[in-house]
Chain A
Amino acid sequence: AQSVTQLDSHVSVSEGTPVLLRCNYSSSYSPSLFWYVQHPNKGLQLLLKYTSAATLVKGINGFEAEFKKSETSFHLTKPSAHMSDAAEYFCVVSGLAGGTSYGKLTFGQGTILTVHP
């Protein structure tokens, strides 16, 4: 079984300040982890993915995430928030089942990021 816990349902930052969105995962297998972003009434856009290569993963729009196996965490960060970053962010885990990589995704509950001018 696999699961994801996003530790904050809402995060509020000022424009130009750092962003930290926290995620802990649980997986019976070596996990693949993703962060997706969703703007209102839109689908999900992939920000970045971790698939057992480098533990520090760089994504689009200046976001990055660090995989820490000892802490079972995959927190998303950005050095300087922009107004356009305001959206909902989902931490997602996918694993291997029976040796077949079918990629079923398990989503966290989401973190709504608000950016103040």
Chain B
Amino acid sequence: DTGVSQDPRHKITKRGQNVTFRCDPISEHNRLYWYRQTLGQGPEFLTYFQNEAQLEKSRLLSDRFSAERPKGSFSTLEIQRTEQGDSAMYLCASSLVGVGVQPQHFGDGTRLSIL
């Protein structure tokens, strides 16, 4: 069990550029979640997948954001035309499907800084 892996750990980019982050969940986990955490706040839910199906998206996920999980394994989160307000830590988590709520295991996140 290598845990949830996120790449890159840090991304600095200019306003208006597109960025893409990758998340590799724990291998047997079929649920994958994306959260955003701004400075001094708790993480906020963005979206989640069960296998390759994207089952829910938060209102925080504007049309500039898109997430995919094409083969039900790794996932990507793309932000187009980045804005200053997109600066945050983007966290990925994964979990099993089971009886009741299963705990989510988090990666170390990708910190995005918009210049």
Contact = CB atoms under 8 A, between A and B. Distances in A.
Interface stretch (B62-70, B71-79, B98-106): B98-106
Given A41-B111, A102-B31, A107-B42, 19 more contacts: A32-B101, A34-B103, A42-B109, A43-B6, A43-B108, A45-B106, A46-B103, A51-B100, A94-B101, A95-B101, A101-B100, A101-B101, A101-B102, A102-B55, A104-B56, A105-B43, A105-B45, A107-B43, A110-B41
B59 to A, nearest CB: 13
Interface string A5-48: 00000000000000000000000000010101000011111100
Interface of A: 32, 34, 36, 41-46, 49, 51-52, 90, 94-96, 101-110
6 closest Cβ pairs, A-B complex: A107-B42, A43-B106, A32-B101, A44-B106, A43-B108, A94-B101
